Amino acid sequence: MISATTSSGLTPPLENGDRLTRFEFEHRYSAMPNLKKAELIEGIVYMASALRITQHGEPHAHIMLWLGFYKAFTPNLQLGDNCTVRLDLDNEPQPDALLRIEVGGQSTISQDGYVESAPELIVEIAASSVSLDLHQKLNVYRRNGVQEYLIWRVYDEEFDWFRLNVGEYIKIESNQDGIIHSQIFPGLWLDKTALLAGNLARVLEVLQQGLATQEHQDFVQKIYR
């Protein structure tokens, strides 16, 4: 492993492709306060390039609006935007969005404020990072038990929704009405076609239909603390 400091006593900067332990990754990341996003995937450092509004910024905002609306009507959930997640000793991603059950869920918050272990749901906006998101990250999230993994492949104009089932990810397809239903968060419904078309009014209309179901009300009663 590369040492935490150089011979001059300075902490080396993070570089794309560095092979580091999670502890060394965190040490170098914390020494670069102006760095907005870096991830450790299978022990390798990945650093984000500048983000374009059409290919990333706006799709990201639409996902946060959709998840935020769901959270507003569902207690005991925590929604995260670009939060670092300590998954294991070789993986510390910074997913575009995550949704976790705050009390009684499968992840916790460390004393220094980081998510530890797998949140129930993760979303990635994949433009230039599509290969990483569909392969290395998919395997990392699967192995660590992320229950639902959503990937918006912007250039491909596709949206993939995976559900963990007996250790493998199975793609959830839209029903006959074109709607995808979360199997972990009852009432979290998505009109994929409307999302890809930028029709937020329709996206929120369908979500409201999901929130009005008995399934969602039962879920609220179950997790209400």
Distances (CA, A) of 80 to 8, 63, 115, 121, 158: 38, 11, 10, 10, 23
Contact status, residue 87 vs residue 115, Cβ threshold 8 Å: no
**pLDDT score, position 140:** 95
Helix (H) / strand (E) containing 215: helix 214-223
Contact status, residue 223 vs residue 71, Cβ threshold 8 Å: no
Say how far apart CA 51 and CA 46 lie, in whole Å: 14
Contact status, residue 149 vs residue 142, Cβ threshold 8 Å: yes
Distances (CA, A) of 91 to 84, 95, 117, 163: 10, 12, 10, 20
The rounded mean pLDDT for the chain is 90
Residue type, 60: H
pLDDT in tens, 94-121: 999 999 999 999 999 999 999 999 999 9
Residue type, 131: S
The residue to which tokens 């329709």 are assigned:
202
pLDDT in tens, 158-217: 999 999 999 999 999 999 999 999 999 999 999 999 999 999 999 999 999 999 999 999
Say how far apart CA 130 and CA 152 lie, in whole Å: 9
**pLDDT score, position 131:** 66
Say how far apart CA 151 and CA 126 lie, in whole Å: 7
- CA angle in degrees (0–180, nearest 5) for 59-152-82: 65
Contact status, residue 180 vs residue 206, Cβ threshold 8 Å: no
Residues of the chain with pLDDT > 90, as a percent, come to: 71
Q: Which residues pair with 85 in a beta bridge?
A: 115
Please give the model's pTM, rounded to 2 decimal places.
Answer: 0.88
Contact status, residue 167 vs residue 156, Cβ threshold 8 Å: no
- Where does the pLDDT of residue 36 fall: very low under 50, low under 70, confident under 90, or very high at 90 and above? confident
Say how far apart CA 182 and CA 162 lie, in whole Å: 10
Contact status, residue 110 vs residue 86, Cβ threshold 8 Å: yes
Give the CATH H-level superfamily of domain 52-223: tt1808, chain A (3.90.1570.10)
Q: Evaluate if residue 2 carries a pLDDT over 60.
A: no
